[in-house]
């Protein structure tokens, strides 16, 4: 097997290239397909005036939605235009705000937003930097839907993910201040998924399991002589060891009809494609049910823009520089096309109840709300998951009436609906019975209590 196959060979190996289809799940066609979750997390934010849509000139101070499958090409904003062919499978959600983030300190805009976006919780400040203060939405979901004997979740990144902001690390958290490392190299992802020789009954894995059993026995013996607090710590560590054992043996005995070739570590778009194809493969084999891809800041050259710093030359100028506004619209459209590629790949895999896309909830969120460093007018797209109760095929607008003061180029006394409710919506779509993700309430400037709980009724049936 060549360690650096061409992209065509990778697609053929996965059965997702022309003339073939990777369908291991068809061997269980009568079984209900599991629900899956895919998070796409992109750096920076949007130019809101080039993301939001309102072809019917509906009022800004009211909640409304439109069936955007009937819209003309001109009705779509330039940032969302690539989604038009897939509008029936997507819903854009406007009028949200990172209210929890705006309420949690000042400065460190990128870092605070990264801590709040996927968690909705107040940050844990360590050595002067903010980290996620609770489990992120992908991990909340994984705790409920993951198989105990397979991978709990896959955390992937393209060209370092969010490391560009200086703090580095991931935007996703197993728990408070527990960032999850990402796999950046597609070949490393292949090794994690298939390097154990799935279904081989590998004797190395068997020996590893035996060692873990021995360690567990030692844990039990040692626990008898410890204090209650230390015993709790040891028991927690022992639970992690047992979880590792179950997953090692589960992966070793998993069934996968076709294992793909090892992909090359290539450029931005190729790496995203390789990650996406391997996620589809892992979903098909039920090696995992939760995956995320965190993407680093795009470069001007990748977008066909004049040389400069994406962050300093373009992102910060969206409210006063037309060229910067155009650049960030192009930026968001680039990622919208990546979302359509995910829709295309997953919709091409038949499953019980339709396709893999119908059984996969996709959430695309950005680091900041706008690229100026604003926390309001947070751009969100949910997609797929037709069997999950999501209201697809819509453009949703929420009135920005939350009494929390923010600055969006100029001061504004009101923000959008707390994004915590989006996280609840996604969790509910995945079958979780909960009403709160992160903060439950935030004090408003008018003395009121801002409710951050419950799903968004225009997004979830």
pTM over 0.85: no
- Spatial neighbors of 375 by CB under 8 A, at least 6 apart, are 97, 98, 99, 101, 102, 109, 113, 368, 369, 406, 415
Whether 410 is in a domain gets the answer yes
Q: Looking at the structure, do residues 248 and 272 belong to the same domain, yes or no?
A: no
Measure the CA angle with vertex 220, ends 216 and 226; round to 5°: 130
- Is residue 118 within 8 A of residue 438, CB to CB? The reply is no
Q: Provide the pLDDT for residue 225.
A: 74
Rg (CA), the chain: 22
Q: Looking at the structure, do residues 35 and 128 belong to the same domain, yes or no?
A: yes
Whether 457 is in a domain gets the answer no
**Tokens linked to 53:** 């849509």
Q: How far apart are the first and last CA of the chain?
A: 48
**Tokens linked to 111:** 């870092």
Whether 269 is in a domain gets the answer yes
Query: What's the CATH code of the domain at 50?
Result: 3.40.720
Which residue from 279, 349, 393 is spatially nearest to 33, judged by alpha carbons?
Answer: 349
Q: Which domain holds residue 362?
A: 7-192+256-451
- Is residue 330 within 8 A of residue 318, CB to CB? The reply is no
Whether 440 is in a domain gets the answer yes
Q: Looking at the structure, do residues 260 and 291 belong to the same domain, yes or no?
A: yes
Question: How far is it, in rounded angstroms, from Cα 153 to Cα 170?
Answer: 14
pLDDT tens for the chain, residues 1 to 461: 333 333 443 333 343 333 333 344 344 444 789 999 999 999 999 999 999 999 999 999 999 999 999 999 999 999 999 999 999 999 999 999 999 999 998 889 999 999 999 999 999 998 888 999 999 999 999 999 999 989 999 999 998 887 655 556 789 999 999 999 999 999 999 889 887 554 555 544 554 455 456 556 666 676 677 776 556 545 654 554 455 455 445 555 566 766 666 665 558 999 999 999 999 999 998 999 999 999 999 999 999 999 988 999 999 999 999 999 999 999 999 999 999 999 999 999 999 889 999 999 999 999 999 999 999 999 999 999 999 999 999 999 999 999 999 988 788 999 999 999 999 999 999 999 999 999 999 999 999 999 999 999 999 99
Q: Which of 220, 238, 253 is the last residue of a domain?
A: 253
Q: Looking at the structure, do residues 185 and 207 belong to the same domain, yes or no?
A: no
Question: How far is it, in rounded angstroms, from Cα 454 to Cα 426?
Answer: 11
Which residue from 44, 49, 41 is spatially nearest to 409, judged by alpha carbons?
Answer: 49
How many structural domains are present in the chain? 2
Whether 416 is in a domain gets the answer yes
Whether 307 is in a domain gets the answer yes
Q: Looking at the structure, do residues 187 and 333 belong to the same domain, yes or no?
A: yes
Q: Looking at the structure, do residues 136 and 185 belong to the same domain, yes or no?
A: yes
Question: How far is it, in rounded angstroms, from Cα 369 to Cα 416?
Answer: 11
Q: Looking at the structure, do residues 218 and 283 belong to the same domain, yes or no?
A: no
Whether 456 is in a domain gets the answer no
DSSP 183: B
Separation of CA 292 from chain center: 5
- Spatial neighbors of 341 by CB under 8 A, at least 6 apart, are 272, 273, 276
Task: Provide the 10 A C-beta neighbour count for residue 202.
Answer: 17
Q: Which of 232, 253, 274 is the last residue of a domain?
A: 253
Q: Looking at the structure, do residues 331 and 230 belong to the same domain, yes or no?
A: no
Q: Looking at the structure, do residues 74 and 126 belong to the same domain, yes or no?
A: yes
Q: Looking at the structure, do residues 269 and 218 belong to the same domain, yes or no?
A: no
Whether 373 is in a domain gets the answer yes
Q: Which of 253, 273, 293 is the last residue of a domain?
A: 253
Q: Provide the pLDDT for residue 64.
A: 99
Q: Looking at the structure, do residues 35 and 148 belong to the same domain, yes or no?
A: yes
Question: How far is it, in rounded angstroms, from Cα 228 to Cα 234?
Answer: 10
Q: Provide the pLDDT for residue 88.
A: 99
Task: For residue 130, give the H/E element and its range.
Answer: strand 129-131
- Say whether 455 sits in a helix, a strand or coil: coil
Q: Looking at the structure, do residues 226 and 375 belong to the same domain, yes or no?
A: no
- Is residue 234 within 8 A of residue 219, CB to CB? The reply is yes
């Amino acid at each position: 097997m060549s360690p650096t196959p061409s992209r065509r060979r990778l697609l053929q190996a996965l059965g997702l290239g022309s003339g073939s289809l990777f369908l291991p799940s068809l061997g269980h066609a009568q079984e209900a397909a599991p629900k899956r979750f895919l998070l796409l997390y992109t750096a920076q934010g949007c130019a809101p005036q080039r993301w939001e849509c309102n072809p019917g000139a509906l009022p800004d101070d009211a909640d409304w939605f439109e069936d955007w499958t009937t819209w003309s090409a001109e009705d779509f904003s330039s940032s969302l235009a690539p989604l038009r062919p897939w509008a029936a499978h997507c819903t854009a959600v406007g009028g949200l705000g990172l209210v929890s983030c705006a309420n949690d300190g000042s400065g460190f805009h990128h870092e605070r937003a990264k801590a709040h976006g996927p968690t909705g919780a107040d940050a844990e400040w360590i050595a002067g930097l903010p980290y996620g203060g609770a489990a992120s939405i992908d991990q909340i979901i994984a705790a409920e839907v993951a198989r105990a004997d397979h991978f709990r979740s896959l955390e992937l990144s393209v060209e370092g993910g969010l490391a560009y902001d200086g703090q580095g690390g991931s935007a996703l958290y197993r728990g408070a201040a527990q960032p999850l490392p990402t796999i950046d190299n597609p070949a490393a992802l292949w090794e994690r998924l298939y390097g154990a020789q799935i279904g081989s009954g590998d004797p190395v894995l068997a020996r590893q399991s035996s060692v873990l059993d021995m360690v567990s026995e030692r844990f039990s013996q040692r626990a008898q002589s410890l204090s209650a607090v230390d015993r709790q710590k040891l028991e927690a560590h022992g639970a992690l060891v047992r979880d590792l054992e179950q997953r090692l043996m589960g992966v070793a005995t998993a069934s996968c009809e076709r294992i793909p070739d090892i992909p090359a570590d290539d450029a931005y778009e190729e790496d995203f494609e390789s990650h996406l194809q391997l996620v589809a493969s892992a979903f098909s084999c039920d090696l995992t049910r939760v995956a995320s891809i965190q993407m680093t800041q795009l470069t001007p050259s990748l977008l066909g823009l004049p040389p400069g710093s994406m962050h300093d030359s373009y992102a910060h100028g969206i409210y006063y520089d037309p060229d910067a506004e155009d650049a960030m619209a192009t930026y968001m459209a680039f990622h919208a096309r990546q979302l359509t590629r995910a829709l295309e790949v997953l919709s091409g895999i038949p499953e019980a109840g339709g396709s893999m896309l119908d059984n996969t909830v996709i959430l695309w969120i950005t680091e900041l709300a706008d690229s100026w460093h604003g926390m309001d007018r947070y751009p969100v797209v949910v997609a797929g998951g037709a069997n999950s109760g999501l209201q697809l095929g819509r453009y949703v607008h929420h009135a920005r009436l939350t009494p929390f003061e923010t600055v969006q180029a100029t001061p504004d006394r009101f923000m959008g609906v707390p994004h915590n409710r989006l996280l609840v919506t996604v969790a509910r779509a995945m079958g979780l019975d909960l009403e709160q993700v992160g903060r439950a309430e935030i004090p408003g400037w008018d003395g009121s209590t801002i409710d951050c709980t419950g799903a968004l009724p225009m997004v979830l049936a």
